[in-house]
Homo-oligomer: A and B are copies of this chain.
Amino acid sequence: MPGTRVTIKDLAKRMNLSVSTISRALHNNPSIGAETTAEVWKLAKQLGYFPNSVASNLRRRKTNMIGVIVPRIDITFHSHVISGVEEVAYKMGYNVTIYQSHDSLEREVAITSILQTNMVAGIIACLALETQDCGHFARFNNQKVPLVFYDRVSNDLEASKVIIDDFDAAFRVTQHLINIGCKRIAHIAGCLTTSIFSARLDGYKAALAKNNLPFDQNMVCCASDLSYEEGARCTKKLLKLTEMPDGLFCANDYTAIGAIQVIKKNNLRIPEDIAVAGFSNYPVSTIIEPALTTIDDRAFEMGKTAARMLIRQVEERDTNIASETIVIRTDLIVRDSTRRQPVQP
């Protein structure tokens, strides 16, 4: 019978049992006899029965769907996070539906409406760049739908977070550049209204201060979108300074690669003339020449952690929604772009 779906009603009729018995049998409920249970399972297999989770969700008033909001899926970092989310969600019996905000607040708001309409069990989100006010997420607190932010998080909202210590990571990168002898370290920053990028700038400043190096505003250039092109643009600007930098810390790997290409075109040596470091450990950082020193932000791990955290909150919903924050450990990965002979003091 093509087009028709076999339901527990059909099973009930065929076996002269009530639908409730069938339902309980299929859940291996002990109040149904072992023999009956076995026969129900057998017939279910035979008839190709598949439970209808839509009906089940309606009755149970909850789905097993996790909604994920990312700025863009085709950005390496996010696709790795999603991969991690899917991995644990699958193992825990949850489904994952994804939405791209394209860094637009308007779209992010629309997506939250869709998620509410779809009765998702929980939400994992990375805020759009445009988003300052998170009011549109507040509704989930009322509906007791757990919410976990990752990477770009909201501070004015009661919600769990999975982040890396951007300040610390930036500090360590900068300290590393100092350790190999850099005296004039420039920074290509991201959009500073975003906390992660301002934290990276702060970490950079702190490392300079700790080592008694002066901070020079001219040595910081803000890239609007963290692309190759912006990295190249900023680098050209930095190379025109009367006192050229001898080290460069970029807020992500893309800008770092744009920087490397410009530096090489200017016949400067990396790392001898300028040492370069990035942030994120994208696959491309091993391909560029010289290979790029960077921070591994462990995106996959971040996704897995966020999913685990969310699912735990979903399943403990009745007890309490304690919002928690997990900081993922990052690794400094040193490659040729900063591999100099250490300076002798």
Contact = CB atoms under 8 A, between A and B. Distances in A.
A98 B99 CA distance: 11
Protomer copies: 2
Contacts of A86: 73, 98-100
Contacts of A113: 50
B119 A52 contact: yes
Interface stretch (A35-43, A75-83, A125-133): A75-83
A119 B53 contact: yes
Contacts of A213: none
Interface in A269-307: 283-284, 287-289, 300
Given A55-B58, A284-B287, A98 B100 contact: no
A205 to B, nearest CB: 30
Contacts of A54: 54, 57-58, 63, 118-119
The 5 closest A-B pairs by CB, nearest first: A79-B79, A74-B83, A97-B97, A73-B83, A2-B142
27 contacts: A2-B141, A2-B142, A5-B143, A48-B139, A51-B117, A52-B117, A53-B118, A53-B119, A54-B54, A54-B58, A54-B119, A58-B58, A72-B83, A73-B73, A73-B82, A73-B83, A74-B83, A74-B300, A76-B76, A82-B98, A90-B100, A95-B99, A96-B97, A283-B284, A284-B287, A287-B287, A287-B288
